[in-house]
């Protein structure tokens, strides 16, 4: 084998890998948010989860990417292990779509496909169209690389040393190990199966050995999720192991089948492939996966339990009040661009609950003058400040990654939400300061004033509750309620300020107590404003996106 052939092979492989990566990333960026919502909604049971896994992986052309996303979903608590198992089973079938595409010879029109994609990227004004252009460019580059490798392999047929070396590969176990190692390094079974397909087309490898090579490729594909899970929680590791055990057990089953029926299997596959070696590899890849899913689907629960047995124990629980700790994002959490924004929203939801609880604790301390409650307010406020800084830093970090377009456009709104929640926390601290002032100067708040503050606090609490629900769940059923409540809170603030002036005029209130009352009422009104901002942040952002796409 001369150097020129090696360089051509390397160049073709580089183009193929780059095309695959570009196409997969562009699909995730263009439709990642929508695909993620499909994952969230339609994985309620194992069967629908499997169907979603097939569709999802066929769409993004990567079982590794799908499984890594599932691992991050499990890590964030958005999916349990049984739901994850269904998606992972389906992903194993969906990934075979790439080899099916490769088996149909698009190489002749690949340059034209590439040109069309480049023109769209260069001249399209809408971001969505540019992403479609990038998908087409990736597809074109993939087949240009494939044709380059194919031409190089055609030369290898005339090299006696290469032919003798490859034909000497008769050990099924060695072939499986080679497939596993190559795929673990490249981190894409689609690529290694496609290379095996090209070798089959050039008669460089026997069809029997290629079947074992495919099995090794399937095991090697689990490396991506296993690596991604290393920094995650125990359930994330278990989800990755479900993918691993499915392929290992499935490989053992196929080994047994081939040991007793190699010739009927090969002859049957060749019959449905019309004698085409490329179609043989693609069909073998698909049918092996379909067979494994059919056989192992009833045993999904035992496979999940096996994964749990491999990773024992439970993670240390991070409660929503845990100080100085992130629960859904951070160094010990699996990072995946497609789920990063979801994790931020869950962390902000937790932060908002802390701020709301702290406001109520502070208001209680204002009346009871309980110093323990006051000190607790200050401690929780430190945690809220920590979360604000940590979440903001994380948003800056993920803003520099290849997020789905919809998620990327929501980053600005999430910055504002973090700021609004932090401001609610500041108002709770202001109330605690007022409670300390009462203790120091003995200011008395009349029963009527206490009642009025309680009424306004109830309205603000309801607004915060609706706002958090609207923001975290995207549920707009309370939109009208929030608008009406905001108006009522504004009117209540004016009413209470007037009542305060009347009490001062009648001498029923001291200036010190009056100042505290006035500041608290103004603060509660601003808390209502911040709650409304939180509620409408993502909704208004989504409307802007829809207007831009229209």
Structure-model confidence comparison of residues 56 and 451, the more confident one:
451
**Residue predicted with more confidence, 445 or 158:** 445
- Is 324 a member of any domain? no
Sign of CA dihedral 181, 186, 189, 195: negative
Residue listed under structure tokens 């689990």? 222
CATH number at residue 442: 1.20.58.220
CA 125 to chain centre: 28
Question: How far is CA 341 from each of CA 328, 344, 352, 410, rounded to the nearest angstrom?
Answer: 11, 5, 16, 8
Query: Locate tokens 């909604």: which residue?
Result: 41
User: Is residue 1 scored above 60 in pLDDT?
Assistant: no
Distance CA 525, CA 495 (A): 12
Q: Which of 69, 75, 72 is nearest to 234 (CA)?
A: 75
Residues 372 and 412 in one domain: yes
pLDDT on residue 455: 93
Give CA–CA dist 517/449, Å, rounded: 8
Instruction: Please state which of the ranges 7-16, 351-360, 373-382, 418-427 shows the lowest mean pLDDT.
Output: 7-16
Nearest Cα neighbor of 374 from 441, 434, 288 is 434
CA angle, residues 19, 120, 11, in degrees to nearest 5: 25
Give the tens place of pLDDT for each residue, 444-488: 888 888 899 999 999 999 999 999 888 887 777 888 889 899 999
Question: Which of 93, 84, 91, 94 lies closest to 46 in space, CA to CA?
Answer: 84
Helix %, strand %, coil % of the chain (to 5):
85, 0, 15
- The stretch 57-68 carries a mean pLDDT of 74
Compute how many other C-beta atoms are within 10 angstroms of the C-beta atom of residue 452: 19
393 and 281 within one domain: no
| Distance from C-alpha of 83 to C-alpha of 89, rounded to nearest angstrom | 10
Least confident of 31-35, 282-286, 404-408: 31-35
Q: Does residue 128 share a domain with residue 93?
A: yes
CA distance 332 to 346: 16
Name the DSSP letter for residue 318: -
Does 317 map to a domain? no
d(CA 197, CA 189): 12
Strand ranges inside 229-375, DSSP E? none
Residue that is written with structure tokens 């019959």 in the block:
271
Calpha distance 369→364 (Å, rounded): 8
**Whether residues 347 and 467 fall in one domain:** yes
Kindly list the distances between the CA atom of residue 520 and the CA atoms of 47, 454, 523, in Å, as whole numbers in the listed order: 54, 11, 5
Has residue 331 been placed in a domain?
Answer: no
Contact 27, 6 (CB under 8 A): no
Position 138 scores a pLDDT of: 87
CA distance 263 to 328: 52
315 part of a folded domain: no
Nearest one of 189, 187, 208, 214 to 287, comparing CA atoms: 214
* Per-residue model confidence (pLDDT) at position 543: 61
* 242/289 same-domain check: yes
- Kindly state whether residue 209 falls inside one of the protein's structural domains: yes
Q: What whole-number distance in Å separates Cα of residue 351 and Cα of residue 391?
A: 10
Q: How many helices (H) and strands (E) does the chain have?
A: 21, 0
Q: From residue 432, how far is each of 320, 445, 453, 463, 518 by CA, in Å?
A: 21, 15, 15, 21, 15
The answer to whether the CB of 216 falls within 8 A of the CB of 183 is yes
What predicted TM-score, i.e. pTM, was given to this entire model? 0.76
Same domain, 295 and 349: no
**Burial zone of 239 (CB within 10 Å; 0-12 exposed, 13-18 middle, 19+ buried):** buried
CB atoms within 10 A of CB 410: 23
Domain match, 383 and 505 both: yes
Residue 321, in any domain of the structure: no
- Token readout for 108 is 């002749």
Same domain as 118, residue 192? yes
Q: How many domains does the chain have?
A: 2
The CA radius of gyration of the chain, in Å to the nearest whole number, is 30
Position 393 pLDDT exceeds 70: yes
What pLDDT score was predicted for residue 357?
94
pLDDT at 321 over 70: no
Q: State the Cα torsion 287-293-298-299 to the nearest 10°.
A: 120
Q: Give the pair of three-digit tokens for residue 11.
A: 């160049």
Task: Tell whether the model's pLDDT for residue 438 goes beyond 70.
Answer: yes
Query: What band does 338 get if pLDDT is binned at 50, 70 and 90?
Result: confident
Per the structure, the complete domain to which residue 136 belongs is given by 3-310
Residue 327 lies in a domain: no
Same domain, residue pair 452 and 530: yes
Q: Locate all alpha helices (DSSP H) within 478-510, ordered by sequence.
A: 479-506
Q: Looking at the domain assignment, is residue 319 inside a domain?
A: no
pLDDT for the residue numbered 284: 95
Last residue of a domain, one of 295, 310, 325: 310
Q: Tell me which residue of 384, 398, 525, 373 sits closest to 453, measured CA to CA.
A: 525
- The DSSP 8-state label assigned to residue 232 in this structure reads S
491 in the same domain as 358: yes
Chain center to CA of 80: 14
Q: How far apart are the C-alpha atoms of 243 and 279, rounded to whole Å?
A: 26
Q: Is 548's pLDDT higher than 70?
A: no
Q: In this structure, are 7 and 146 located in the same domain?
A: yes
Question: What count of other Cβ atoms lies within 10 Å of the Cβ of residue 401?
Answer: 12
Assigned token pair, 211: 């079947």
Residue 20 has pLDDT above 90, yes or no: no
Residue with tokens 């196929």: 254
pLDDT at 356: 94
User: Exposure of 475 by Cβ count < 10 A (0-12 exposed, 13-18 middle, 19+ buried)?
Assistant: exposed
Is 133 in the same domain as 50? Answer: yes
- 3-class secondary-structure state, position 446: coil
Confidence of residue 169 (pLDDT cuts 50, 70, 90): confident
């Amino acid at each position: 084998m001369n150097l020129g052939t090696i360089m051509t092979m390397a160049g073709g492989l580089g183009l193929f890998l780059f095309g695959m990566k570009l196409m997969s990333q562009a699909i995730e960026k263009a439709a990642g948010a929508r695909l993620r919502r499909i994952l969230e909604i339609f994985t309620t049971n194992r069967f629908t989860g499997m169907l979603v896994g097939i569709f999802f992986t066929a769409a993004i052309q990567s079982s590794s990417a799908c499984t890594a996303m599932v691992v991050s979903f499990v890590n964030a608590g958005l999916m349990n292990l049984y739901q994850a198992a269904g998606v992972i089973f389906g992903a194993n079938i969906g990934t075979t779509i790439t080899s099916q595409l490769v088996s149909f010879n698009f190489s002749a029109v690949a340059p034209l496909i590439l040109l069309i994609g480049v023109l769209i990227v260069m001249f399209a004004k809408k971001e969505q169209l540019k992403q479609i252009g990038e998908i087409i460019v990736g597809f074109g580059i993939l087949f240009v690389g494939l044709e380059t490798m194919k031409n190089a392999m055609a030369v290898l047929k005339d090299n006696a040393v290469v032919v003798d070396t490859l034909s000497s590969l008769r050990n099924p176990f060695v072939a499986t190990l080679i497939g596993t190692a190559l795929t673990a390094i490249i981190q894409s079974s689609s690529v290694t199966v496609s290379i095996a397909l090209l070798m089959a087309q050039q008669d460089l490898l026997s069809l029997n050995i290629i079947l074992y090579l495919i099995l090794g490729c399937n095991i090697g594909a689990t490396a991506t999720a296993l690596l991604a899970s290393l920094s995650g929680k125990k359930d994330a590791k278990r989800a990755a192991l479900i993918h691993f055990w499915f392929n290992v057990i499935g490989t053992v089953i196929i080994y047994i089948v081939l040991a007793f029926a190699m010739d009927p299997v090969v002859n049957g596959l060749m019959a449905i492939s019309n004698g085409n070696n490329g179609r043989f590899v693609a069909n073998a890849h698909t049918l092996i996966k379909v067979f494994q899913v059919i056989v192992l689907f009833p045993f999904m629960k035992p496979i999940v339990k096996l994964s749990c047995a491999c990773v024992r124990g439970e993670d240390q629980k991070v409660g929503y009040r845990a100080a100085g700790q992130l629960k859904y994002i951070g160094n010990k959490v699996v990072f995946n661009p497609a789920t990063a924004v979801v994790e931020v929203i869950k962390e902000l939801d937790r932060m908002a609950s802390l701020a709301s609880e702290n406001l109520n604790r502070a208001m209680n301390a204002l009346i009871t003058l309980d110093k323990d409650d006051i000190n607790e307010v200050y401690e929780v406020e430190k945690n809220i400040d920590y979360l604000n800084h940590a979440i903001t830093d994380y948003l800056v970090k993920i803003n520099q990654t290849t997020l789905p377009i919809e998620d990327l456009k929501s980053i600005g709104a999430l910055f504002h939400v973090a700021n609004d929640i932090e401001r609610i926390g500041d108002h709770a601290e202001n109330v605690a300061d007022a409670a300390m002032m009462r203790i120091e100067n003995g200011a008395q708040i009349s029963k009527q004033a206490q009642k009025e503050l309680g009424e306004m606090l109830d309205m603000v609490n309801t607004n915060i509750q609706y706002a958090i629900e609207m923001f975290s769940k995207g549920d707009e059923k309370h939109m009208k309620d929030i608008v009406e409540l905001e108006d009522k809170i504004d009117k209540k603030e004016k009413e209470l300020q007037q009542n305060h002036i009347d009490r001062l005029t009648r001498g029923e209130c001291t200036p010190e107590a009056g100042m505290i009352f006035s500041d608290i009422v103004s603060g509660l009104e601003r808390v209502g404003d911040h709650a409304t901002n939180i509620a409408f942040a993502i909704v208004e952002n989504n409307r802007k996106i829809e207007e831009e796409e229209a």
